[in-house]
Structure 1
Amino acid sequence: MDLLLWRHAEAEDGSPDTLRKLTPRGEKQARQVAAWLSEHLPKHLRIVASPALRCRQTAEALAQPFETDKRLAVDGNVTGLLVAAGWPDGGDTGARAVLVVGHQPILGRTAALLLSGEEADWTIKKSALWWFSNRTRHGETQTILKAVVSPELL
């Protein structure tokens, strides 16, 4: 299974937090990463986003159907994210690839857990994408970091 973690793009300050929208720079960031993703999308991709407006707008840049899940909200946690994504085997949906559009610190803590085995306060930059894959080799489950994409590099 592949798990793609995409942090929302730059958003305006303000409240309520859930209604903060992307800035013009954030819209550009989301389009840049979405363009890269469009060229590399895995087949049968399921997209799930936080219900926060800035996450939905980031996901919309990809122009693919997506769903929202409250477990990915600002106050969510790593366990909720992994359950919502169905990691590592696709969960109830049986998805082979899931793109999660969400927030810090949940995304960074998830990346840390997947790569080091422990949650830690890692930072994922705004609109950056981290792509993980899970496989079994010689009876051992492995998590592989396939790509890290940042809008500044595109």
Structure 2
Amino acid sequence: MELILWRHAEAEDSFPDMSRVLTAKGEQQAKKMATWLKRHLPPDTKILVSPARRTQQTASTLGMEFTTLDSLAPGTPPTAILEAADWPRGNGTVLVVGHQPTLGMAAAYALSGKPQYWSVKKGAIWWISSRVRVHEDQAVLRVTISPDFL
């Protein structure tokens, strides 16, 4: 299984939180990352997105269909992300567009088995693979990249 965690790009500081929109810089970050992702995503990638406006805008830059899940809203526990993606036993590729600190905690849990506070930069992705070797589940960090490196 392939799990890609994509943090929404830079958003305005405003209220209510669910209505925050991307800044001009955030729009550019999202477009850069979307261009990179489109070159690397398998065509059957399942895309799951938080209902917050900034995540919807970030995901929309891909130009691909996605599913909005209330369970991915800000403040959700990291286990909700992993359950929605069916990590680690699911099939195919799942891209989750969400929020900090939940994404960082989900990445930590997927890679180390411990819910730690890891930071995912705005607009960045973490691409993690699961595999079974010698009857043991393993996680492999394939890519972590932020828009400023593209």
Please tell me whether residue 111 in structure 1 is matched to residue 107 in structure 2: yes
Paired residues for 1:37-56 under 5 Å: 37-56=37-56
- % identity of equivalent residues: 51
Deviation at 1:89, TM superposition (A): 2.0
* 2:94 aligned residue: 98
CA offsets 1:76-116 (integer angstroms, 9 cap, x no match)? 011111111111122xxxx4110000000000001111222
Please tell me whether residue 82 in structure 1 is matched to residue 78 in structure 2: no
Which segment is superposed worse, 127-136 or 107-116?
Answer: 107-116
How many residues are matched? 150
Distance 1:40 1:81 in 2: 22
Deviation at 1:140, TM superposition (A): 1.1
Q: Confirm or deny: 8 A CA contact 1:49 1:67 kept in the other structure.
A: yes
Deviation at 1:149, TM superposition (A): 1.4
Deviation at 1:44, TM superposition (A): 1.4
What's the TM-score once normalised by structure 2's chain length? 0.97
Q: Confirm or deny: 8 A CA contact 1:4 1:131 kept in the other structure.
A: yes
SS in 1 for 2:120: coil
Q: Confirm or deny: 8 A CA contact 1:43 1:97 kept in the other structure.
A: no
Deviation at 1:117, TM superposition (A): 1.5
Unaligned segments of structure 2, at least 5 residues: none
* 2:121 aligned residue: 125
Letter in 2 for 1:107: L
Please tell me whether residue 152 in structure 1 is matched to residue 117 in structure 2: no
Distance 2:43 2:131 in 1: 17
Unaligned segments of structure 1, at least 5 residues: none
Please tell me whether residue 141 in structure 1 is matched to residue 143 in structure 2: no
* 1:28 aligned residue: 28
CA RMSD, 1 decimal: 0.9
CA offsets 1:6-64 (integer angstroms, 9 cap, x no match)? 00000011111000000010000000000000110124100000000000000001110
Distance 1:100 1:124 in 2: 13
* 1:72 aligned residue: 72
